[in-house]
Amino acid sequence: MSFEEKINEELKLAIKSTDKVRMETIRSIRSAIIEFNKSGSNRELNSDDELKILQSAAKKRKDAIEMYEKTDRTDLLDREKAELKIIEEFLPKKLSDDEVKAIIKKVIEQTGAKEQKDIGKVMGPLMKEIAGRADGKVIQGMVREMLS
């Protein structure tokens, strides 16, 4: 089952269950897929595109959560958190810190990086390998720590 088919199926289930938040969240993902298809790229939606769509949706929710926390809008905050949780169901499983460190070690060995100035050599291949399974800021902090 393709990603698009899965989203459409989940939308049908959400409509049947009358779960309004889930339905609206999945509709927003579906809308992003339709927008991609209409963008004129003349290619099928691949796993990288799927990941970008989901990460973008998750980032919007995280930014909104941060903003609502600052302004004490708990009514909107709870909704954004619920939407983020739904989006995360479709994202790849997050890696543990130990798994991330093992991958970082492997990439550091492969690239021959030894100092802080070599962080660029490590981050490119590392992000391709980890893609969406860990937070980039956390990864960068771990790489800096391991190269110091």
Same domain, 65 and 119: no
- Each residue's pLDDT tens digit, 22-62: 999 999 999 999 998 888 767 788 888 888 899 899 999 99
DSSP-assigned states of every residue in 48-72: HHHHHHHHHHHHHHHHHHHHHHHTT
Q: What is the pTM of this model?
A: 0.74
Q: With beta carbons less than 8 A apart as the criterion, state whether 90 and 132 touch.
A: no
- Each residue's pLDDT tens digit, 105-136: 888 888 888 888 888 888 888 888 887 788 77
Residue 8: per-residue pLDDT: 92
Same domain, 84 and 127: no
Compute the distance between CA of residue 49 and CA of residue 52 in angstroms, rounded to an integer: 5
- Last residue in a domain, options 37, 59, 88: 88
Residue 69: per-residue pLDDT: 92
Per the structure, the complete domain to which residue 10 belongs is given by 3-88
For the chain, count helices (H), then strands (E).
Answer: 7, 0
